[in-house]
Amino acid sequence: MPKKVCNWDPQRTPGHWNFYGGDLEGGIEHLDYLQDLGINGLHFCPIFESPSNHKYDTVDYYRIDPHFGDGKIFKHLVEEAHKRGMKVMLDAVFNHIGIASKYWQDVIQKGENSLYKDWFRIYSYPVWQDYDHMEKRFEQLNYDTFGYEPRVPKWNTANPEVKRYLLDIASYWIENYDIDAWRMDVSDEIDHQFWRAFRQKVTAIKPDFYTVGEVWHNAQAWLNGDEYHAAMNYNLVESIKQYFLTGEIDTAELIHQVIAQQMKYRRQVTEAMLNLLDSHDTPRILTLAKGNKDFVKAALTFLFVQAGSLCLYYGTEVGLEGGEDPDNRRAMAWELDQVDSGMKDFVKQLIHLRRTCLPQIFGDFHLTEEDNEILALEVGVDGQRLLARFNQTGQVLFLPQVGETLLSQKREGEYIGYGGFEVSFIKAPI
């Protein structure tokens, strides 16, 4: 979220309408920080022209919002990211558009005579505009919107003209700015034929292009090889949060839920899914854990040994907190007195482990409950195994060491404390 990256007002408590001054130049200045952390991909929430701070009410998809910079600066950001081995993913808000766009304004002004009236799903004229009495929208709204929000009318993607327009936008940012991925906002509300055409369009330009849909439920219908490459894996990570952060489920239930989630998708799909514990749409994990950093580290470790693409929400690595939107969108903490250096070092170590060790041994996956409700996750191939064991039982447990310890928490001799874990590498016998 560029408004929260850097070059901002130091205020830390966000509101629904506040602006913080963050921009793309500030992002460029901190690419070395991200590279040092081990990051190899960046996801930007919407950066196109919009009157709001969240930018999900687009005015012009072809223009970078002036709050952030311009096309020249963004192109420089992409080039600098690529030099550091980082891919760049933008947010495709193709389900709806903002009321300030020229297309919706034409509908407001001309009604049924508008050239763009069929670009939306409108049931009567004039279109509803009683924004001073928002409570009336549930009965009076006469066009389709996202979430009954009248300021973001939905596109009619079944209209060939709309389809061409949106596909041109998708290709424009690849061809002119060399982006590497699109994250598709509210993608499950857009018809399948559009996403099939979208996949064909973007991969024809860049064969290794990555597309990920925002789907909060079972996404299998979009993951058959001709639409998205992946979806945001909210079902999996919700189980992880309920086990490690809030204690709502026990070890047996976590295993059941994780295995059930894996059975929904082909292995190739699981390996591409976007796994993230928190985001701009959810409370931050340190807040969910009520400030317990041991629980956060255990949850992150469990996530990092799962197959899939990992996504770390900005600020998680320095202990940033936040509740529901907009509190979860606080400005990034750069000042030394606000940074948890211990958490940052841990996340850096975890990323290093993921990038150097795990890719070589991802293969068979086993999730089991050992004695005393210890959670054990084992992955391996060709006799090389990685074993991660977690203690969320509420007590100190006897846990003999196995193999070479790569990462651990709350380990004392042969015992491991509550909220502790150990990740070990077990070599194949010669």
Give the length of the chain: 430
Tell me: pLDDT of 298 over 90: yes
Residue pair 228/202 in contact (Cβ under 8 Å)? The answer is: no
Buried b (16+ CB within 10 A) or exposed e, 354-371: beebbeebbeebebeeee
User: What is the DSSP secondary structure assignment for residue 278, as one 8-state letter?
Assistant: -
**Domains, the chain, ordered by start:** 96-154 (3.90.400.10), 367-427 (2.60.40.1180)
Q: What is the pLDDT of residue 360?
A: 59
185 is catalytic: yes
Tell me the helices (H) and strands (E) count for the chain, helix number first: 14, 17
321 is catalytic: no
Reference 422, options 399, 395, 393; nearest CA is 399
Q: What is the pLDDT of residue 143?
A: 96
Question: Phi-psi region for residue 111, left (φ > 0), alpha (ψ -120 to 50) or beta?
Answer: left
Residue pair 89/41 in contact (Cβ under 8 Å)? The answer is: yes
Reference 386, options 360, 412, 411; nearest CA is 360
| Catalytic site residue from 185, 188, 227, 321 | 185
Copy the structure tokens of residue 171: 């290709």
CA 84 to each of CA 87, 88, 181, 348: distance values in angstroms, whole numbers, following the listed order? 9, 11, 17, 16
Contacts from 101-105 at CB under 8 Å and sequence distance 24+? 101/58, 101/59, 101/60, 104/153
* 224 three-class SS: coil
What does the pLDDT look like over 139-155, one tens digit per residue?
Answer: 999 999 999 999 999 99
Res. 4 pLDDT band, cuts 50 70 90: very low
| Catalytic site residue from 65, 91, 214, 278 | 214
What does the pLDDT look like over 380-409, one tens digit per residue?
Answer: 877 788 999 999 999 999 999 999 999 999
Q: What is the pLDDT of residue 15?
A: 61
Contacts from 120-128 at CB under 8 Å and sequence distance 24+? 120/144, 120/153, 120/154, 120/155, 120/156, 121/154, 121/156, 127/153
Task: Name the residue type at position 362.
Answer: F
What does the pLDDT look like over 61-104, one tens digit per residue?
Answer: 999 999 999 999 999 999 999 999 999 999 999 999 999 999 99
Tell me: pLDDT of 16 over 90: no
Q: What is the pLDDT of residue 2?
A: 43
**What is the rounded average pLDDT for all residues in the chain?**
93
Which of 12-16, 179-183, 404-408 has the lowest average pLDDT?
12-16
CA 242 to each of CA 79, 85, 247, 388: distance values in angstroms, whole numbers, following the listed order? 40, 34, 6, 19
Residue pair 363/280 in contact (Cβ under 8 Å)? The answer is: no
